[in-house]
Amino acid sequence: MSDLLALSAAQLAERIRARELSREEVWDTYRERAAADDLNAFLWVAADAPDTGDGPLGGVPFAAKDLFCVRGVPSQAGSRILEGYRPPYTATAVEKIVAAGAPLLGKTNQDEFAMGSSNENSGYGPVLNPWDRTRVPGGSSGGSAAAVAAGQVPWAIGTDTGGSVRQPAALSGIVGLKPTYGAVSRYGMIAFASSLDQAGPLTRDVTDAALLFSVMTGRDPCDATSLEHPEAIRLPSAQDLQGVRLGVPDDVESAAGIEPGVLEAFRATVARAQELGAEVDTCSLPHARHGIAAYYVIAPAEASSNLARYDGVRYGLRVDGDDGLLAMYTRTRHEGFGAEVRRRIMLGTYALSSGYYEAYYGRAQRVRTKIADDFRAAFERFDFVVTPTSPGVAFPLGAKTDDPLAMYLNDFFTVPMPLAGIPAISIPNGLSEGLPTGFQIAGPAFSENRILDAAYALEQAIGFDTAAVHA
C-alpha cells in the first residue's frame, strides 16, 4: 500500500494504463483510507466504484468539495440548512472529470457555503490538519486539501472565491490552482459570490494539477460566464525560468500579520527562482492592500442575494412555527445558518440597502477595477507576480474564531486575484515551525500553461517532501 500511496495521480493513471496496477486495487486502497478518515475531511464516501470507462484520468479516484452538486449524493455546502439534500443534477466540473475516467470517491467537508479561511465554520465540525491535528487545514476547501495531503484521495477539487483553493493548499502542503474566472463552468456549484467563485484542483504536485485542470475547462451552455480556454492545457515540462520576469510587490514584507518563517521561505524561493534564470524586480500594486476591504463588501453582498433562496419553502431545512410565514423564515435561517454565514448575509444586505449601495458596494466595485488595472500594468513589465500564499502557517483550532478581522486577513495575499479575475497557483515551498508554507504565482488571464510551467520548474528545484501523505 505504501508504494501505491507514494505515487502521484498522474503516475497512478500511467500504471493503470500499463496494467501494472488495477483500477480496483487503487479504488479499494483509497476507499479504505477515506472511510477511516480521522480528520473529518469527508462528509460522504462512495460505497462502490462507479464504472467511468476509459479516459485521460485513467480510473484514478477524486473527491469533490461539498459545494459541488452530484445527482443523488448529499450536497450540502457544509451547511445544516441543506442537510441531506440530494440534487437531481450534477455539476459540470464533476461530470467532466468523471467522463475523463475518474470515479468520485467522496464529498469533502468545507466552511459553510465556502465562507471561511479555516474550515471551522462547517456545520459538520472542523477539519483537522494532517501535519498537526490541533491546527486548521485552511479554508474554505479544507476537507479537499486535508484529504489530499493525508493520502486519503489522490486529488480533489475545490472552489476559490477569495483564496479557498490556494490558502488551504498552502496550509496543508499541497498544490492549489485558481483558474481564470470563466475557465471552468460554475454550473452545479452552490453559489456564494457569483462574480468571484471559480473551481480548481487541489493535488500533490503541479503535474497532477495540470492534468486535472485540463479536463475541467471549456464553454458550458449552462453557465453564461464560462469561456472556451484559448489554449489546450498541457502537462508542464519547464526545467528553468530563463527569461521569465517575476514581480514582487513592494509591500510584501510589510503585510499585516506576515510571519518571519513565511517571509524567510518566500525570500528563499525568490532566490531559487533567480538561480533558475528568472529576472526579479519589485512591482507596485497600490490598490491591492484595499482588496480585503473591497472583497468583504462585494462577496457578502452577492451572498445575501444568492442565499435568499434558502427560505424553508422549496428545499432544505424547514423549521415551522405558529407565528406565520415570517417566523418560519426567521427560525429556519437561524437554525440552518451558522454564525459566519449570518454575519456575511447581514453585512451584504446592509451594503446593498437604500442609501448605502453607492457608499459601499459601488465604491468596492471601483476598487476592484483599480486592482485589475494594477495587475494589467504590472503584467506589461512582468510575466508573473509572486507573493507568499498566506501570511502565516496553519494556526491552532479556535485561535481566530472570535476575531473575524484576524481570520479575514489570512486571505490578504489571495483576495486580489479573484477580484481581478486572473489565475494563480500555490505550491509548497518549505516549512516554518514544522508546518508548510506556500508560494503564490499569479499571471494574466488564461496564462495557466505558463503559470504551470513556472510552478513546475520551481517545484523540481525546491523538492518539497509531501510527508503528510503518510500521516
> What is the C-alpha to C-alpha distance for residues 471 and 89, in angstroms, rounded to an integer?
35
> What is the C-alpha to C-alpha distance for residues 229 and 144, in angstroms, rounded to an integer?
25
Collapsed DSSP state (helix, strand, coil) of residue 290: helix
Q: Amino acid letter at 370?
A: K
Q: Amino acid letter at 359?
A: A
247: left (phi over 0), alpha (psi -120 to 50) or beta: beta
Angle at 203 (CA atoms; ends 434, 390), nearest 5 degrees: 50
Indicate which residues carry an active-site annotation.
Answer: 65, 140, 164
Matching residue, cell 452552490 = 190
> What is the C-alpha to C-alpha distance for residues 139 and 146, in angstroms, rounded to an integer?
10
**Pairing label, strands 424-432, 175-178:** antiparallel
Matching residue, cell 468583504 = 296
Q: Amino acid letter at 307?
A: L
> What is the C-alpha to C-alpha distance for residues 90 and 73, in angstroms, rounded to an integer?
9
> What is the C-alpha to C-alpha distance for residues 222 and 314, in angstroms, rounded to an integer?
22
> Closest Cα partner for 382 from 263, 284, 460, 287?
284
Collapsed DSSP state (helix, strand, coil) of residue 334: helix
Collapsed DSSP state (helix, strand, coil) of residue 390: coil
With a CB cutoff of 8 Å and minimum separation 6, the contacts of 338 are 79, 80, 112, 121, 123
